[in-house]
Structure 1
Amino acid sequence: MSATYSEQAPAKVNLFLHVTGKRDDGYHLLESLVCFTAAGDVLSGELRDDGKITLSITGPMAGPLSLEDTENNLVTRAAKTLQTVSGTALGADLILDKRLPIASGIGGGSADAAAAIRLLCDMWKLDLDAESLDRIALSLGADVPVCLHGKTCLMAGIGEEITELSDLPPIPMVLINPGKAVSTPEIFRALEADGYSQSGLWNTNAEFASGAALCDALADCGNDLFLPAASILPEICDVLSALAREEGCLLARMSGSGATCFGIYDTTEQAERAANLIAAECPDWWVIPTQILCQETRVLSDIGASFPD
């Protein structure tokens, strides 16, 4: 029987996101402190020797994705790009367990593509250098390189400039999506052209022993996409209010271009209690308690202990 390979696709959280300019080709320049959480999708697969690539999508957030042509899915595109670059004659039967909301500002599709690259490099025994893998990742989308990196980092440029930072502690968080998608291009069009942030504001040498210390540092930063996103989808403000009013919330902020928001809490118990209360009050929202991935929680994830359903 063929061995089954498995790879986690952790949710990406932009702890802050500053838009620092715009290139002549229309791409915006960003600077963002990125971390990953114990909540995420899971990609698994088995080896084929005929070069064919198949993808099945299951899980609570599969929804319309399971009905769409999987040739357009980022996982399939990542697999075929890797196949072409490496020249391998091997293929794979892939299964995506979709647990994260679609188009929600926490890198779901990008994390899935990065997981496909990692999984297939292992399955196909590829020996591609980091530069080649980064080029493949960037060709698939601006968030794929940082998801391929998979650790706390400062992301800049259009997503290709990644500075690895010290691990954050396993800080408790709650992620909430109101169940509505927002268009990233529309949000950038609504961004005020004269409102660009200064770059280089984050101390890349900083280390944090607690959520409180991290939130103190984050107080001087923000998410430049929040106002245009909230003007398009006011429910984002409702989510932030729900997170902030629960006991122990140290910071509530939107991630990426939304609509998912995160709350950082003082203790795991407070995060779980907040998630339970908010989920009961707003049953149409996607609500999950989680924590920041660090070396400790990453080891737990490797044995399947840290990815909540």
Structure 2
Amino acid sequence: MATEFAYAKVNLALHVTGQRADGYHLLDSLVAFAGIGDSLRADPADRLTLAVDGPFGAEVPAGDDNLVMRAARLCLGDRGAALRLTKRLPPASGIGGGSADAAATIRALMRMMLEQGKPPAPINADQGAAILALGADVPVCLASHPARMRGIGEQLDWLTLPPCFIVLANPRVEVPTPAVFRALAVKENPPLPDALPGWTTARELADWLALQRNDLEPPARQVAPVIGDVVAALSGLPGALMARMSGSGATCFALFADEDEARDGAEALQSAHPGWWVAAAPVYPGRADMDQLIRATT
């Protein structure tokens, strides 16, 4: 048996820098991971199965097209495993839930094979391309380590962030990613600065982020104007250093330097908006426990 946590992925900044001939958009994004997410358990079995539970389990189909099943087939081939996904993140919400679940599946199955005395082979170029084909966020979620993510998600530069805390809020409205990209008027925008600062405090990070953008936020607000209300509510929380939308929405976030202020803010926001999904969590500066796995898969 092996278990893995599927950390929420947050785009602290997301610049859309172009579009390839095949339609894929080019990004330059600062990605972080928070201490809230789904979990994935893998047990040896004769055939591949998936059960889904948790607060959002009913909203996630457990069929063959589920990213967990696709990732499992990539790892296992025709071998079996009994998988259980506990879904705590709202699906299709701009915080990498499905990609994080797929990445957690890969990690869990690798650990399961190690426990069985069957060390997995390092991921080769073809398998790396197949992992990217699962979703642009899957490679960065595989490590769940802060990174600058460029290209279509294949170019990753690992970073260290200062200790900070985050409040996530989702108004529980559907914001289809294709509709957001269609509403994006300009596809070629300036990237992040070539050299990133060495942030030492949450305030330094937040002040720098305030000078950056999420290019998908304006078109997402056209699709779902409530996103503006969420960002405003997060910005107004005591101790909030900055706020914006993550990914293509509709989840938005605020950064905090103080854990108590983040948790108090989340409680106040949930009380004021009981229909929203709200959570508070630490932002991980970096995950040293992943070093061995990262080396094993590159």
The two structures have a TM-score, normalised by structure 2, of 0.91
The alignment status of 1:100 with 2:89, answered yes or no, reads yes
Q: Deviations over 1:197-225 (max 9, x none)?
A: 22252524x32221101011112211000
Q: Give the one of 216, 228, 239 matched to 2:230.
A: 239
| Counterpart residue number, 1:148 | 142
* Structure 1: distance between partners of 2:95 and 2:252: 9
The alignment status of 1:8 with 2:5, answered yes or no, reads yes
The alignment status of 1:175 with 2:168, answered yes or no, reads yes
| Counterpart residue number, 1:114 | 103
The alignment status of 1:59 with 2:54, answered yes or no, reads yes
The alignment status of 1:72 with 2:61, answered yes or no, reads no
Shift of 1:133: 4.8
| Counterpart residue number, 2:214 | 223
Q: Deviations over 1:15-36 (max 9, x none)?
A: 0000001111111111100010
Aligned residues: 285
**For residues 42 and 191 of structure 1, do their structure 2 counterparts lie closer, same or farther at Cα, with a shift above 3 Å needed?**
same
Percent identical: 44
| Counterpart residue number, 1:160 | 154
* Structure 2: distance between partners of 1:155 and 1:187: 20
**For residues 5 and 238 of structure 1, do their structure 2 counterparts lie closer, same or farther at Cα, with a shift above 3 Å needed?**
same
Which residue identity lines up with residue 15 of structure 2 in the other structure?
A: H
Correspondences of 1:1-309 after superposition (within 5 Å): 4-48=1-45, 50=46, 52-65=47-60, 68-84=61-77, 90-124=79-113, 125-129=119-123, 131=125, 133-165=127-159, 167-193=160-186, 196-204=188-196, 206-295=197-286
For the 8 Å contact 1:82–1:136, the answer to whether it is kept is no
What is the root-mean-square deviation in Å for CA atoms of aligned residues?
1.7
The two structures have a TM-score, normalised by structure 1, of 0.88
Shift of 1:123: 1.1
| Counterpart residue number, 1:304 | none
Counterpart secondary structure, 1:253? strand
* Structure 2: distance between partners of 1:215 and 1:202: 18
For the 8 Å contact 1:102–1:181, the answer to whether it is kept is no
Give the unaligned 5+ runs of structure 1: 300-309
Q: Deviations over 1:26-49 (max 9, x none)?
A: 11111100010101111012112x
Counterpart secondary structure, 2:64? helix
Deviates more, 1:29-38 or 1:132-141: 132-141
Give the unaligned 5+ runs of structure 2: 114-118, 291-298
